């Protein structure tokens, strides 16, 4: 590991000091108390009621019922969230919340059990890893709320993937599924509690053909989690995650307009060895958490985490290696170390109000190595053979800018907020402070004046916010808030350093179930973003280039609603309808881009689902999903260009459906089938280095057994 001893030593010292207040208070009391409500692994409590802002939870039951093919498909059911597929399995994460451009999830803070899983939130915030749905207990989504507690990347939304927890009674789940596109998926997990120790063991694997005829995707995921109830006040939890992905035939060189019209899924016709192109992901994550219930009202939760993302990608230069061609790569490695400690003190009575104070501190150290290797003529490059940074050129030349650039970041953040309740009102003011340094070392870049140069950029930001919650209306909550958020600029830029993107974000919403059988969660939001960070272009090697484009504003509305017939009459079945809708208007407001739309953000997106649950064990449902048209570039080019590298991406409406039947046996066994893009609609998923079509029709059938 390239992380240096000094930051590790500093981090350990930080963790010890952060735990001291709780340890001291614990020694002063001996009474038995409950487990802590505060847990750094969770984003929201059991339900969204009482949250001081817009939030959604996708539960394990919903995942089991809807059987989405990928995480992106699952997020169709969350209002305000939109996704863009870059591969059929959604492994190149493309998640946007409200006005956040989805590509590579660069503007959304992704957490797993509270641990950041973006490549590097402070250096290069894209994402090449998200956990598989099969081992998740729920997906928690904050939209325009929680920015005081969580950061950075907190202008638009935060997504937390919560892994399965141990069960008091042993549970084993085995699931298998097969379908067209050579789809094979399998999952097994076991969880139980033995004495004071709970445990979870999980394996998930999946493989499928890709969007193009040369693509084949496969991943294997392993997860182990342990929870030790040390005593009535202390709990230790630890987890290890490892995901291995191997995707052959994948690259980011897509199709020209004519190529797309001629044969939209055929890359083998180019005879360029594109089947030799490949991307690999090796992801490793360690978490260690300590929850301490000091008294009935005081709790401390602390975490140490480490993530290691190894992501090499290689592609041909136009001729297959078998024909003497040369391959080149983008070989990237991210290592992140962090420590997080939070304190909660509830039920404080002062000045006629009831206070709940939350405070926390976090330290992170990030390291990112960006290598651009090249192979020799006829040499196949992949995860096991990564080439070299420099190769001697022959007459025809085959060297690449074999650069090696190392980036480092250190960040310290802290926050405090106070929820003050009086009657039906709760007001929560708070302040978050973030300071971070970015370093760019151009270690190796032949012929460049940058070689051997070390650059540094420092930033410090105060992020205030205030939220309001009113519960005086029967079975309803009205919430409002305004806060400042930000996104660190990508360090991977020829224009280093860029300015962090900052925003002032506000919303007003209502959650209600006042009407029998109907639930509704709707919010209007308005964000003003300064120094908007946008992917502007790509360099000669296909690397994304980022710019501070202009200021922008985002206005919109999210609506989530559901109606169930079981609330109106008793029957053996329940008919239901569910909607997750979003309207967003995102435009630049300054300079030559004034009134242009921000790329990647459609004005309309959402899904509508109808279905039936039957007491005999049946479930039937169908979903129509819509993603509106969006621009792929800041100039808002309307027509697709001949090279397919710019233009407006047309809207698409897709259909999916699923059915399941729980067998009437003593074993908890369910047969299921699900399909997406059932009309096999040919559509453009994105325009990036050419036109990439969306996934074809995919139908998968399988069985799930629990015992």
Answer yes or no: is pLDDT of 27 > 60: no
Predicted pLDDT at 533? 83
Mean pLDDT (the chain) is 90
At residue 399, does pLDDT exceed 80?
no
pLDDT the model gives residue 393: 56
For each of the domains in the chain, give its residue range(s) and CATH number, in order of start. 5-706 (2.40.170.20)
Q: What is the per-residue pLDDT for 539?
A: 47
Q: What is the pLDDT of residues 597-615, one digit of tens each?
A: 999 999 999 999 999 999 9
DSSP conformational letter for 77: G
CA dist 689 → 273, 543, 615, 637, 686 (Å) = 18, 10, 50, 15, 9
- For the entire predicted model, the pTM comes to 0.92
Q: pLDDT band at 391, cuts 50/70/90?
A: low
Give mean pLDDT, residues 429-436.
Answer: 97
The set of residues, in sequence order, having a beta carbon less than 8 Å from that of 270 and lying 6+ positions away, is none
What value does the mean pLDDT take over residues 126-144?
94
DSSP letters along 670-691, please?
Answer: EEEEEEESTT----EEEESSSE
Percentage of residues of the chain with pLDDT beyond 90: 81
For position 449, what pLDDT does the model report?
A: 81
Q: Work out whether strand 573-588 and strand 698-706 pair parallel, antiparallel, or are unpaired.
A: unpaired
Residue 417 to residue 666: CA distance in whole angstroms: 50
* Res 565: pLDDT: 97
Rounded to whole angstroms, the Cα distance separating 508 from 228 reads: 41
**pLDDT tens for residues 514-535?**
999 999 999 999 999 999 988 7
CA distances from 445 to 314, 333, 396 (A): 19, 18, 21
**H/E/C letters for each residue in 126-150?**
CCCCCCCHHHEEEEEEEECCCCCCC
Average pLDDT value for residue range 404-410: 95
Mean pLDDT of 287-308: 96
- What confidence score (pLDDT) does residue 447 get? 73
Q: How many CA within 13 A on the CB side of residue 231?
A: 9
Preceding amide of 628 cis, omega within 30: no
For residue 689, what pLDDT band results from cuts at 50, 70 and 90?
confident
Q: What is the band of 666 on the pLDDT scale with cuts at 50, 70, 90?
A: confident
* Band of pLDDT at residue 400, cut at 50, 70 and 90: low
**159-207 pLDDT, tens digit each:** 999 999 999 999 999 999 999 999 999 999 999 999 999 999 999 999 9
Integer angstrom CA distances of residue 302 from 112, 143, 227, 438: 15, 25, 14, 26
pLDDT at res. 12: 38
Asked if 659 and 678 touch (Cβ cutoff 8 Å), the reply is no
Cis preceding linkage at 152, omega within 30? yes
Burial 480-496 (b: 16+ CB within 10 A, else e): bbbbbbbbbbbbbbeeb
- Does residue 121 have a pLDDT over 80? yes
CA neighbours closer than 13 Å in the CB half-sphere of residue 182: 10
Residue 185: what pLDDT?
A: 97
Predicted confidence at residue 40, as pLDDT, reads 64
Digit-coded pLDDT (tens) for 553-607? 999 999 999 999 999 999 999 999 999 999 999 999 988 889 999 999 999 999 9
Averaged pLDDT for residues 34-55: 65
pLDDT class for 13, splitting at 50, 70, 90?
very low
CA distances, 200 to each of 135, 166, 232 (Å): 10, 6, 21
The pLDDT assigned to 398 comes to 55
Span 255-263, mean pLDDT?
96
What confidence tier does 15 reach under pLDDT thresholds 50, 70, 90?
very low
Look at residue 297 and tell me whether its pLDDT is greater than 70. yes
pLDDT at 6: 44
Least confident of 3-7, 515-519, 567-571, 673-677: 3-7
Q: Residue 403: is its pLDDT beyond 60?
A: yes
Give the mean model confidence (pLDDT) for residues 236-247. 97
Contact of 221 with 605, CB cutoff 8 Å = no
Looking at the predicted structure, is the pLDDT value of residue 226 above 50?
Answer: yes
pLDDT at 474 (0 to 100): 92
Mean per-residue pLDDT, 620-626: 98
Percentage of residues in the chain having pLDDT higher than 70: 90
Compute the distance between CA of residue 536 and CA of residue 265 in angstroms, rounded to an integer. 26
Measured on CA atoms in the order 635, 641, 645, 649, is the torsion positive or negative? positive
Average pLDDT over residues 71-83: 96
- Whether the pLDDT of residue 8 is over 80: the answer is no
Per mean pLDDT, which range of 188-197, 415-424, 491-500 is the poorest?
491-500
pLDDT given for residue 513 in this prediction: 95
């Amino acid at each position: 590991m390239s992380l240096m001893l000094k930051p590790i030593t500093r981090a350990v010292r930080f963790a010890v000091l952060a735990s001291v207040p709780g340890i001291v208070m614990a020694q002063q009391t001996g009474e038995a108390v409950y487990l802590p409500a505060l847990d750094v692994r969770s984003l929201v409590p059991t339900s969204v009621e009482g949250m001081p802002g817009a939030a959604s939870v996708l539960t394990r039951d919903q995942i089991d019922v809807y059987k989405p093919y990928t995480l992106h498909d699952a997020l169709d059911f969350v209002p305000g969230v939109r996704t863009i597929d870059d591969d059929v399995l959604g492994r190149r994460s493309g998640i946007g919340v409200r006005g956040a451009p989805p590509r590579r999830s660069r503007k959304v803070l992704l957490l797993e059990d509270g641990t950041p899983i973006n490549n590097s939130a402070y250096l290069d915030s894209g994402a090449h890893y998200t956990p598989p749905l099969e081992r998740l207990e729920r997906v928690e989504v904050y939209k325009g709320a929680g920015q005081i507690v969580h950061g950075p990347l907190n202008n638009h939304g935060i997504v937390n993937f919560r892994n399965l927890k141990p069960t008091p009674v042993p549970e084993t789940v085995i699931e298998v599924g097969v379908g067209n596109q050579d789809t094979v998926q399998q999952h097994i997990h076991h969880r139980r509690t033995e004495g004071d120790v709970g445990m979870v063991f999980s394996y998930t694997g999946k493989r499928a053909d890709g969007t193009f005829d040369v693509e084949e995707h496969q991943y294997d995921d392993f997860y182990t989690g342990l929870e030790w109830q040390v005593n009535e006040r202390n709990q230790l939890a630890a987890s290890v995650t490892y995901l291995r992905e191997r995707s052959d035939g994948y690259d980011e060189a897509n199709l020209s307009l004519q190529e797309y019209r001629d044969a939209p899924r055929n890359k083998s016709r180019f005879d360029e060895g594109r089947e030799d192109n490949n991307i690999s992901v090796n992801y490793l994550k360690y978490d260690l958490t300590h929850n301490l219930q000091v008294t009935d009202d005081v709790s401390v939760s602390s975490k140490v985490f480490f993530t290691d993302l190894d992501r090499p990608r290689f592609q041909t230069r136009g001729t297959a290696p078998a024909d003497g061609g040369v391959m080149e790569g983008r070989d990237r490695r991210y290592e992140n170390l962090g420590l997080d400690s939070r304190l909660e003190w509830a039920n404080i009575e002062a000045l006629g109000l009831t206070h709940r104070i939350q405070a926390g501190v976090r330290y992170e150290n990030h390291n990112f190595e960006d290598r651009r290797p090249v192979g020799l003529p006829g040499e196949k490059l992949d995860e096991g053979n990564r080439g070299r940074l420099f190769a001697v050129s022959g007459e025809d030349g085959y060297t690449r800018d074999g650069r090696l650039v190392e980036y480092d970041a250190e960040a310290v953040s802290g926050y405090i907020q106070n929820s003050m309740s009086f009657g039906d009102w709760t007001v929560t003011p708070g302040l978050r402070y973030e300071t971070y340094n970015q370093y760019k070392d151009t270690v190796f870049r032949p012929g460049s004046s940058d070689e051997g140069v070390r650059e540094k950029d420092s930033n410090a930001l105060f992020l205030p916010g205030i939220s309001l919650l009113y519960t005086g209306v029967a079975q309803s909550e009205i919430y409002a808030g305004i806060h400042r958020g930000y996104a660190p600029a990508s360090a991977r830029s020829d224009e280093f350093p860029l300015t962090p993107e900052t925003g002032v974000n506000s919303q007003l919403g209502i959650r209600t179930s006042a009407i029998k059988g109907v639930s509704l969660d709707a919010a209007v939001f308005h964000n003003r973003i300064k120094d908007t960070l946008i992917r502007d272009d790509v360099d000669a090697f296909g690397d994304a280039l980022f710019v501070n484009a202009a200021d922008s504003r985002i206005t919109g509305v999210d609506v989530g609603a559901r109606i169930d017939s079981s609330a109106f009459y008793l029957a053996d079945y329940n008919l239901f309808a569910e909607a997750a809708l979003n309207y967003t208007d995102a435009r630049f407001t300054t300079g030559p881009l004034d009134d242009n739309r921000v790329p990647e953000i459609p004005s309309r997106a959402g899904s509508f689902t109808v279905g039936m649950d039957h007491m005999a064990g049946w479930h039937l449902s169908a979903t129509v999903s819509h993603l509106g048209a969006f621009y792929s570039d800041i100039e808002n080019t309307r027509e697709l260009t001949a090279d397919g590298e710019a233009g407006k991406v047309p809207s698409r409406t897709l259909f999916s459906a699923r059915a399941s039947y729980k067998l009437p046996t003593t074993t908890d066994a369910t047969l299921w089938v699900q399909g997406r893009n059932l009309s096999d609609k040919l559509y453009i998923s994105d325009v990036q280095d050419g036109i990439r079509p969306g996934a074809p029709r995919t139908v998968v059938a399988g069985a799930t057994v629990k015992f």
